[in-house]
Structure 1
Amino acid sequence: MIASAGLRPIPETVSSSSRTTRFALTLAAVLTLSGCMTVGPDYQQPQTAVPAKWSATGEVEAPDATVLAEWWRQYQDPVLDGLVADALAANLDLATARAQLREARARRTLAGAALGPSLTASGSASRSRTSSESSSGTTSDLFSTDFDASWEPDIFGGLKRGAEAAEGDLGASAESLRDTRVSLVAEVVLNYVELRTGERRLAVAAASVAARGETFDLTRWRRQAGLVSDLDAAQARTELESARANLPALRTAVTEAQNRLAVLLGRSPGELVSWLSEADIPQTVVSMAVGIPADTLRQRPDVRAAERRLAAQTARLGEAEAARYPSFSLSGSLGLSALSLDALGSTGSVTRSLLAGISAPIFDFGSIEANIEIQDALLEQARLAYQAAVLTALEDVENALVSVANAGERHTQLIQATASAREALQIAEHRYASGLTDFLNVLDSQRTLLSLEDQLASSTGELASAQIQLYKAVGGGWSPTDSAQDTRTAS
């Protein structure tokens, strides 16, 4: 139940100047009270304990902000640069995030507008004609205009808290846009690496098919000459068909990567097939500077967004607590009417009214307290979500650092193993041609080399992907300049 009361216009026995003075004093008192008392907790930046260094690497130098903002350019691949640029311009998820930022900005304006007064104006014009049997009748005109003003003084700060909540939502939306940008860039580069890795593996498999085809033909001719057995020919045929069986799955992986890139660029699947000619896997970065954990928390948009949501929810708790207290309203109107348009404001009649009102909760079956409890629980959830975002960010970087180190070590070992396998195959072929070993050793050497070449191609892609994940983990892919551009685009 809400109780309300209003002060009606003062009787005519009181002079106009007295009424004006009294209302002015009332208004001054309300203005003095307004803003002096803001209920609810004031937001304070959360203090989170973070390690001084990474456990995987110890202390490392801070990243260069310019390099981190456009980290993919280190691969020096013009095709990749073009794909990222097109994705940033046309990706649908990024466009949706920009629209959400636009919505949040409008909601902040709406919440801020509630703090100020409103003024409306209206006007009308009418003409009437009266007639009688004894005369031709008379015509009269009436013109009127009205001005209405209203204001709700924010005595207990509920509207202010609402504006603070909208400001926090706007900040969270801006950070979510940045997070979408970070994820998009990483996904484009990851899929590009998958595409080039698939192409490399497909080339290795095709070369293996060609080599085994030559081996099979040679074995068949030697069998016809009676130099080798039927078993050697059958084994050569088995190896050839086994190599051919690897091709369809690799072609599928290449096509899927092409289609995924097309969708990320806001295009239909298949549109990039003719545009993306084969190229090497992007060269891995020699060294990466990731800074300290505190640097990551400052750079990660998802952590920054969680902090802004916490600020917004803190304000919403205060907004809910303000509902416990009375609300006040002030309104006034001025009406002018005259028989001619020229007489408005001069000889016409004037109607004035001033009204002050108050509304206070008396009994509501506990709905206000329940809403306060809801907002307090949501505040606790926002606080826990922020802490979880911090831990997730630290986990992502630690895991990425380990992945980069291990992928690099495996890649180095595979390079050495592949070189040794290639040398072993040459020796086996030479010994077989000299009659010093059987054909099975040649096939085993071919099989080993194929496996290692395929693993090396995969390892090259895995190392590049691990570095990409590390750049994403530290929040790379955005800068204040990019954010300003996204903000203008969202306007």
Structure 2
Amino acid sequence: MRTFSLLFAAVVSLALVGGCTVGPNYRTPDARMPGGWATLNRTSTQPSIANEQATQIATWWERFGDPKLDELIAAAIEGNLNLAQAKARLQQARALRAVSAGGLWPSVDLSTSYRRSGQDSGISTGSNDRYQLGFDATWEIDVFGGQRRTVEAADARVFSSSADLMDVRISLVAEVAVNYLNLRTSQQRLAISRKNLELQQRSLDLTKRQVAAGFAARLDLAQAEAQIANTQAQIPGLRQSAQQSVLELALLLGKDSSALLAMVDKVEPIPTTPPVVPTGLPAELLRRRPDIRRAEGALWAATANIGVATADLYPRFNLVGSIGTADSKMKGLFNWSNSLWSIGPTISWNVFDAGRIRANIALAEAQNDEAKAFYYQSILIAVRDVESALTAYDFEQERRQRLQASVDANRRAYDLANQLYAQGQVEFVNVLTAQQALLNSEDASAQSEAAVAKNLVALYKALGGGWADSEPNPVVAGSPAEK
């Protein structure tokens, strides 16, 4: 036992004193983030203005002030099946990390056996029983850190899986909001078409009276009827669009569509955008954008894999041992005087491999260079996405203002044309033209109102909004997110 103790102490001392971790240690690269948003219009006079104030956008949809939207997003987070799959993938990554970490510890196996043997010499026969019970242990001592680098790579994969989960949730919230906006847009366009149908019906009634009195031609009557039929033809398509949005929402919520179809007929306004939209600074994207975090996880894993490949250049140290008992009778297994044991270290070293190990190291280094370039590219894409969303949001607001002015002018033109036609001062074609212009401008204005809101959704998505910082951190300790 004294020999065993000395041998064990010598091997463990080798691991603790002489041990090292080969390969480069991971360090987050310089972010190279701009100081501010280049396209942010700080002098904008639009109703809703974006600025660089710090913001908490984990629940950005609440800024629309629409309880139904809040309810739908909460239900989607609870029941969406894509989100459930992403959570399961994160659990898989954590389990694989635990498998890798298990390689750092000894492996102990229990074995038991019974064997009966005999001999028949032709003169006499005999047989022997042998019972055996024992433990076999193997421990690869990670002197040069190859196994620790393997665990580190697994940590990086957990980090990337958590980023995937973030990405699914951020995209889910944005999709629910967009489909909800599509539903409300279709409803508003339906309301506009029906309101214009009432105006057109009044014009038709007036035209009928004019024709009956001999003040108008039957052509005017046919044109009025054609315009009504044309407006009526738009309604089925708008109803179908509203129902399609509800079907998409049902899928996102993981529910049967029948539970939501009542929303088609319950008309609600398009949610209004908040007066101020704080965006924060570009540097905040490093924490909030899942694609950047996923790219960093890939870079972290690639860096660790260099160490995994480098460890193959060095010898491997294993400590193996066994202890057990054996006897011809089962009760003898519990007699310590029948014990058998062995222990000893083994060393293996691949001294010639025709350059295979160094080729693997070169491969890992090249993969690391690729991952670093992808990380920087992800940052550029993230900044581009936000800048594009800011531009679209700002210009669509300007377009919305112009369209509203057009609606006001066309409404005045219609009222005037209708009045003059009743007095016989203009042709009926002027009424038809004014009616169509009013319908078109109101319809375009409603679509622009929705586009402003959807551009704001795209901005929040580009900023990485929708991941609750208050939720448990899905990242393992020691990850880049915690450095």
Report what 2:461 is aligned to: 472
Q: Assess, with a 3 A threshold, how the Cα gap between structure 1 residues 28 and 98 changes in structure 2: closer, same or farther.
A: closer
Q: How big is the shift at 1:226?
A: 1.6
Structure 2 residues without counterparts, runs of 5 or longer:
43-50, 477-483
TM-score scaled by length of structure 2: 0.89
Per-residue deviation, 1:437: 1.8
**Relative to structure 2, which stretch is displaced further, 391-400 or 270-279?**
270-279
Contact 1:337 1:348 in 2 (8 A): no
CA drift of 1:424 comes to 1.9
- Tell me the distance in 1 between the aligned counterparts of 2:261 and 2:332: 77
Structure 1 residue aligned with 2:425: 436
Structure 1 position 343, deviation (Å): 4.6
Partner of 1:12 in structure 2? none
Matched, 1:170 2:153: no
Say whether the 8 Å CA contact 1:258–1:270 is kept in structure 2. Answer: no
What's the counterpart of residue 270 of structure 2?
Answer: 281
SS of residue in 2 equivalent to 1:323: helix
Does 2:152 match 1:161? no
- Aligned counterparts of 2:263 and 2:432: Cα–Cα separation in 1: 38
CA contact (8 A) 1:158 1:319 kept: yes
- CA drift of 1:480 comes to 2.6
* Equivalent-residue separation in structure 2 for 1:313 and 1:274 (angstroms): 51
Quote how far apart the aligned CAs of 1:286 are: 1.2
Judge conservation of contact 1:208–1:450 (CA < 8 Å) in 2.
Answer: yes
Name the counterpart of 2:380.
Answer: 391
Give the structure 2 partner of residue 201 of structure 1.
189
Q: Look up the SS of the partner of 1:437 in the other structure.
A: coil
* Identical counterparts, % of pairs: 36
Partner of 2:303: 314
| Cα separation, 2, equivalents of 1:389 and 1:237 | 57
Q: Answer yes or no: is 1:103 the counterpart of 2:86.
A: no
Match of 1:253 in 2: 241
Match of 2:221 among 219, 233, 237: 233
The aligned residue for residue 169 of structure 2 is 181
Match of 1:10 in 2: none
Match of 2:102 among 101, 108, 113: 113
Q: Which amino acid aligns with 1:201?
A: R
Partner residue in 1 for 2:80 = 91
Aligned to 1:417: 406
Shift of 1:83: 1.0
Could you report, residue by residue, the CA deviation over 1:236-269 in whole angstroms, capped at 9, with x for unpaired residues?
1232222223223322322221111111111345
- SS, match of residue 30 in structure 2: coil
Partner of residue 215, structure 1 = 203
- The equivalent position to 1:63 in structure 2, one of 49, 54, 73, is 54
Shift of 1:335: 1.2
How far the C-alpha of 1:108 sits from its partner, in A, is 0.9
Counterpart pick for 1:363 among 329, 352, 358: 352
CA distance, structure 2, for counterparts of residue 43 and residue 227 of structure 1: 88
The 1:295–1:347 alpha-carbon spacing in structure 2 relative to 1, beyond 3 Å, is closer
What is the CA-CA distance between 1:340 and the residue it aligns to? 5.5
Q: Which region of structure 1 is more displaced relative to structure 2, 358-367 or 421-430? A: 358-367
In the TM superposition, what is the alpha-carbon distance from 1:128 to its structure 2 partner?
Answer: 9.4
- RMSD over aligned Cα atoms: 2.8
Indicate if the aligned counterparts of 1:144 and 1:336 stay in contact, CA closer than 8 A. yes
User: Per the alignment, do residues 486 and 79 of structure 1 end up closer, same or farther by CA in structure 2, a change over 3 Å counting?
Assistant: farther
Q: Which moved more, 1:242-251 or 1:69-78?
A: 242-251
Give the AA of the match of 2:99. L
Instruction: Return 5+ residue gaps in structure 1 as ranges.
Output: 1-15, 132-136
More displaced, 285-294 or 437-446?
Answer: 437-446
Distance 1:111 1:53, change over 3 A: same
Superposition pairs for residues 299-310 of structure 1, below 5 Å? Answer: 299-310=288-299
The AA in structure 1 aligned to 2:192 is V
- Please say if residues 58 and 469 of structure 2, whose CA atoms lie closer than 8 Å, have aligned partners that are also in contact: no
Q: Which amino acid aligns with 1:62?
A: Q
Q: In 1, Cα distance between the equivalents of 2:9 and 2:58?
A: 57
What does residue 38 of structure 1 align with? 21
